[in-house]
Amino acid sequence: MDESGLSRTDLGLFLDLRATDPALPDYRRLFQALRQAILERRLEGGSRLPSTRALAAALGIARNTVKNAYELLQAEGYLQGRQGAGCFVVELPVLDRPNTGLQAGQSQTEIAVVEPRHRDSPGLLQTAIPALDQFPHRRWQRALQHASTGAGLLAGDPQGDWQLRAEIARWLGAQRGMQVDIEQVLITSGSQQGLYLIASQLVMAGDPVLLERPGFSGTEDAMRAVGARVSRFHQQQLDRIEALPQAKLMVLTPSRNFPLGHTLPADRRLTLLNWAYERQVWLIEDDYDSEFAAGPALSAMYSLDRRQQVIYAGTFSRTLFPGLRIGYLVLPKALVPGFVKARRVVDGGLSTLPQRALAEFMACGDYSRHLRRMKRLYSQRRALLEQLLAQSALARLPIVDAGGGMHLCLQLPSHCDDREIMTRLESRGVKVRAISLYDEQCEPGLVLGFAAQGADSLARGVVALAATLAPLLDR
């Protein structure tokens, strides 16, 4: 005992206790301090712990707190109570080495504390974000409320909620000229999961796959995750299609190339389909934001397919909000059972509530009303951004010619390093993307998002962009 009346063990515990998280209940803190002392062998196997009364008095805490901590330690097998003799520390095996959370063979590196990736409001000119300020919250809340009373509490169908699949099939028929059976639709947690499911179901390690360039990096990530051998192709290469290498599957964005926005014309679509039939190649149509193409909605390539060889991937990330995490695949019938089986393995199916709410949101016309409004709004925002650029010091930079969408591409002189510029802009709150991220062979350029930006943030974005870019243009 020292002069405070604590034994060495009690004093150690007292100090340990102070090191635990004060937000935890006291018995949890004492439990942690004792468990740590046992694991580090400061309290040895076989030794007797003080009585609850004595420890409570020594530490100046309630006796019940000590009792609860002892009970938890007993329940987890650190202590053993002996009738009339008190509580004893159990003999435990020694853990080999501190647990670093790393796999065998991995070296330990500093784990950086990173800022949360997503913030509540978009950065200036940030891409891939819809007009969140215009989202019809009340209508969505109504749909959620109905869904929460209507939906059962049991897990839903792993293929996805039937009503939602029915609404998607109806929507695709009306908007994209696609004949889709409800049984062909598989709900995913976004196109990204759809792409990964496709990779895991159709591609074996070492299989060659062809990805459009430029293109979304998440597609390549999904293919590489299963060990695919990735090659890239340009839409223009489809004019000499015989020269393309054999592949297990090909991923493309025929309605709007990502990020340049051009469309695959009918002759190339037909040539591609014939090539795919002949070579037995799956065609993956990633239709990520065709809803906002300028002019009338384009037909999907899927609608031309006669042999069920096109898999269509859609998402609500752009049309509603990215945090929804709902997308879908339209699969050839023969592939459905395998995908549903994989789905059960991955997550057992998605949460029922947002699926039901989305089904109602679509069924009552709120979805199409919202899209019509957004299409008008985005074309106004695009026009304003073009006008602001034309009035700025960046007026002579060409804009890649593709109307509509949620972003536009600004070409830079070939001496510019677009990634370095992107990083510089980021420090000014401007969240544009470098075109070379999508294809390092592309001429440098920047992808500027306008959908989520009101007039004021568009103006601020262009001012910041011009301040950074103008001095670099004539070097």
List residues near ligand PLP by CB under 6 A: 128, 190-192, 216, 218, 253, 258, 286, 288, 315, 317, 322, 327
Complex with ligand PLP: residue 68 or 255, whichever CB lies closer: 255
- Other beta carbons within 10 Å of 458: 22
CB of 444 to ligand PLP, least distance (A): 20
Complex with ligand PLP: residue 49 or 447, whichever CB lies closer: 447
d(CA 55, CA 59): 6
CB of 152 to ligand PLP, least distance (A): 26
Identify the helix (H) or strand (E) that includes residue 425: helix 418-426
Phi and psi for 455 in degrees, rounded to 5? -55, -40
- Other beta carbons within 10 Å of 156: 20
CB of 333 to ligand PLP, least distance (A): 23
- Other beta carbons within 10 Å of 359: 24
d(CA 382, CA 448): 10
Complex with ligand PLP: residue 6 or 451, whichever CB lies closer: 451
Complex with ligand PLP: residue 175 or 392, whichever CB lies closer: 175
Complex with ligand PLP: residue 13 or 301, whichever CB lies closer: 301
CB of 217 to ligand PLP, least distance (A): 9
* Sequence-separated (6 or more) residues with CB below 8 Å from residue 462: 385, 388, 389, 392, 394
Sheet with 310-315: list strands edge to edge: 185-188, 327-330, 310-315, 282-286, 249-252, 208-212, 229-233
d(CA 61, CA 85): 23
Complex with ligand PLP: residue 16 or 220, whichever CB lies closer: 220
Are 435 and 404 in contact by the 8 Å Cβ rule? The answer is: no
Are 125 and 431 in contact by the 8 Å Cβ rule? The answer is: yes
CB of 256 to ligand PLP, least distance (A): 9
Alpha helix positions (H), 122-204: 137-150, 162-176, 191-202
CB of 40 to ligand PLP, least distance (A): 45
* Sequence-separated (6 or more) residues with CB below 8 Å from residue 193: 327, 346
Complex with ligand PLP: residue 136 or 322, whichever CB lies closer: 322
Closest CA to 380 of 403, 409, 401: 403
Place of tokens 């969140």: 132
At how many degrees (to 10) do helices 217-225 and 191-202 cross?
Answer: 30
CB of 198 to ligand PLP, least distance (A): 12
Complex with ligand PLP: residue 190 or 349, whichever CB lies closer: 190
CB of 82 to ligand PLP, least distance (A): 58
CB of 306 to ligand PLP, least distance (A): 25
* Total length of the chain: 475
Complex with ligand PLP: residue 175 or 468, whichever CB lies closer: 175
Are 366 and 157 in contact by the 8 Å Cβ rule? The answer is: no
CB of 197 to ligand PLP, least distance (A): 12
Complex with ligand PLP: residue 10 or 212, whichever CB lies closer: 212
Closest CA to 258 of 63, 438, 59: 438
CB of 190 to ligand PLP, least distance (A): 3
- Other beta carbons within 10 Å of 382: 23
- Taking CB atoms, the residue at the shortest distance from ligand PLP is 190
Complex with ligand PLP: residue 52 or 191, whichever CB lies closer: 191
Start-to-end C-alpha separation, the chain = 76
d(CA 262, CA 234): 12
CB of 126 to ligand PLP, least distance (A): 12
- Other beta carbons within 10 Å of 360: 22
Complex with ligand PLP: residue 89 or 198, whichever CB lies closer: 198
